[in-house]
Amino acid sequence: MKKKAMKIGNGYMSQLKLQPLAAALIWVTTACVGQGSDTPESDFRAALLTAGPVTDVGWYAGGYAGLMMIEDSMGASVSHQQTATPAEFDEAFIAYASSGYGIIFAHGNEYQDAAIRAGQEFPDVTIVVSGGGRVSPNVVPLIFRLEEGSYLAGVTAAYVTESKVVGMVGGVEIPPARGAFLAFEAGVHAVDPEIEVLQVYTGDWDDLAAAKEATVAQLSQGADVIIHNLDNASLAVFQAVREVVEEGRVAYAIGMNSDQNELAPEVVLGSVVIRIADAFHTTAQMWQEGNVGGAPIYANTEQGVIEFVINPMLRDRLSDEELERISSTKALIRAGEIDVPRVVFVEGEPEDH
């Protein structure tokens, strides 16, 4: 192996002698070709940054749908960039802020430090950081109270589990994810404190293999309801559950972030839905009215941004009485009668659990 590699290496050395020149040349050639046109643009410009693909049928897709909604219903000219590294965050903020984008949705807490920096440099631009933890006059976190939907999912899971073991498969252990799982557990235990709740974080929102492995492990430990908090990798959770169902076991998955009931209708019992698009739209409207700044924006069940949607195809797995209790629990949460646990993570936010 080494010998072969060496040969390739030496070959390159001689062949690639003129590379830099060639590289420069092609760059200049492309430069001459590309004198492009500009698309007509509106004065109201909104941008979206995501750290993952908007094809994830979940978190990022929701953000993108929000951007599209702002384009369609508010006539904004919009733009989206998928970033990979923290170094790119600053770059994207600067690029958008200096080309007339008034509001930038940074769809993830990873953007918060760069957002604060960019916010200082461009005081006229508003940056909305989904799940962010830092506030400044023009940089505001948009906090989704995912806990409220997760609690309902927990109640539902407790009704259907026969093994009295349920599982949670998470991606990266960030506060909103911790909060969602905490609330799920509380929902489960509100019905039956004896139920065992398994928990694992794969460390990656999009790693399909890791998510599947984690799900298989929990299923083999007896779990028969698995909730996830993943992005792209959620598909692997559904697949793992589907495989045991095909073997004749009874098991369910619970979707998260968007309505994932359609993705695997035979196994997804319901989905904790964040209507991210609605939240973005509402936020953009608030911003146009001059009402965004200096304080976090909260999106919850009260505004219908957070919901738990039961898959109509599997609705019959729950008795009428159980369905009744689920909707009365929902009403109690909306009314603030149930204290759903959550993880506080915005700097300066009161720690009222």
Where does this chain bind another protein (CB under 8 A)? 1-2, 5-6, 9-20, 22-27, 30-31, 33-37, 39, 47, 51, 53-54, 79-88, 90-92, 94-96, 109-110, 112-113, 133, 172-175, 203, 343, 345, 347
Closest contact distance (angstroms) between CB of 22 and another protein is: 4
Which tokens in the block code for residue 286? 């608030």
Q: Which is nearer to another protein, 101 or 151 (CB)?
A: 101
Q: Which is nearer to another protein, 194 or 351 (CB)?
A: 351
Q: Which is nearer to another protein, 33 or 335 (CB)?
A: 33
Closest contact distance (angstroms) between CB of 345 and another protein is: 5
Q: Which is nearer to another protein, 104 or 269 (CB)?
A: 104
Distance CA 307, CA 312 (A): 15
Distance CA 17, CA 21 (A): 9
Backbone angles phi, psi at 287, to 5 degrees: -65, -40
Exposure of 275 by Cβ count < 10 A (0-12 exposed, 13-18 middle, 19+ buried)? buried
**136 secondary structure, DSSP code:** B
Closest contact distance (angstroms) between CB of 192 and another protein is: 31
Cβ proximity of 141 and 131 under 8 Å: yes
Closest contact distance (angstroms) between CB of 175 and another protein is: 5
Residues 6+ apart with CB under 8 A from 245: 251, 266, 267
Q: Which is nearer to another protein, 50 or 301 (CB)?
A: 50
Q: Which is nearer to another protein, 11 or 304 (CB)?
A: 11
Closest contact distance (angstroms) between CB of 207 and another protein is: 12
Closest contact distance (angstroms) between CB of 38 and another protein is: 8
Which of 101, 105, 100 minimizes the C-alpha distance to 127? 105
Closest contact distance (angstroms) between CB of 6 and another protein is: 6
Distance CA 157, CA 161 (A): 6
Q: Which is nearer to another protein, 20 or 248 (CB)?
A: 20
Cβ proximity of 104 and 127 under 8 Å: yes
Q: Which is nearer to another protein, 13 or 335 (CB)?
A: 13
Closest contact distance (angstroms) between CB of 318 and another protein is: 36
Cβ proximity of 247 and 258 under 8 Å: no
**Apex CA 181: angle with CA 51 and CA 206, to 5°?**
30
Cβ proximity of 179 and 146 under 8 Å: yes
Distance CA 43, CA 291 (A): 19
